[in-house]
């Protein structure tokens, strides 16, 4: 299955004094890609939680840093659902230097679905599974 992809520029706010991306900035870029993936399947964050009656909260985040991204680099960010459970799912990601085969970072984020009112773990809504099916699998 294909992954969802966006391209983002590394900005000064993302870097340390050596103009190398700060490791924590990858989380922000992951969340930008995740937000746009939801928007691409007609579940923008502005309406998704009410529509789904749940929040997908972060339970685990893992990232392997391979090659540093530098100020003004363009990164191609690919994300896909690599695992569906009953109450949790895993979104895997890969950061590449845009236009090259240079791997910058890769990893995954495990999310757990909780009800918007009681904040208790709940089954993943069918609508979420259906909408993200096009980005589910092994990536590409």
pLDDT in tens, 10-34: 999 999 999 999 999 999 999 999 9
> Under a CB-based contact definition with an 8 Å cutoff, are residues 91 and 81 in contact?
yes
Q: How confident is the model at residue 46 (pLDDT cuts 50, 70, 90)?
A: confident
Domain ranges of the chain: 4-132
b or e along 112-126 (b: 16 or more beta carbons within 10 Å of the residue's beta carbon)?
bbbeeeeeeebebee
Regarding the domain with residue range 4-132, which homologous superfamily does it belong to in the CATH classification? Answer: Hotdog Thioesterase (3.10.129.10)
pLDDT value at position 58? 96
> Under a CB-based contact definition with an 8 Å cutoff, are residues 53 and 65 in contact?
no
Q: CA 48, CA 53: separation in Å to the nearest integer?
A: 8
pTM confidence score? 0.93
Average predicted confidence (pLDDT) for the chain: 96
Mean per-residue pLDDT, 90-119: 98
| Residue-level length of the chain | 140
Statement: residue 112 has pLDDT above 80: yes
Alpha helices in 53-102 (DSSP H): none
């Amino acid at each position: 299955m294909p992954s969802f992809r966006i391209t983002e520029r590394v900005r000064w706010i993302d870097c340390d004094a050596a103009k190398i991306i700060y490791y924590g900035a990858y989380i922000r870029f992951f969340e930008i890609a995740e937000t746009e993936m939801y928007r691409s399947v007609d579940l923008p964050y502005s309406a998704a939680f009410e529509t789904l009656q749940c929040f997908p909260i972060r339970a685990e985040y893992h990232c392997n840093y391979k090659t540093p991204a530098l100020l003004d680099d363009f990164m191609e960010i690919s994300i896909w659902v690599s695992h569906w459970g009953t109450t949790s799912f895993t979104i895997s990601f890969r950061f590449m230097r845009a236009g090259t085969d240079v791997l910058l970072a890769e990893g995954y984020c495990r999310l757990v679905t909780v009800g918007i009112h009681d904040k208790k773990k709940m089954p993943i809504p069918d609508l979420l599974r259906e909408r993200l099916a096009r980005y589910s699998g092994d990536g590409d």
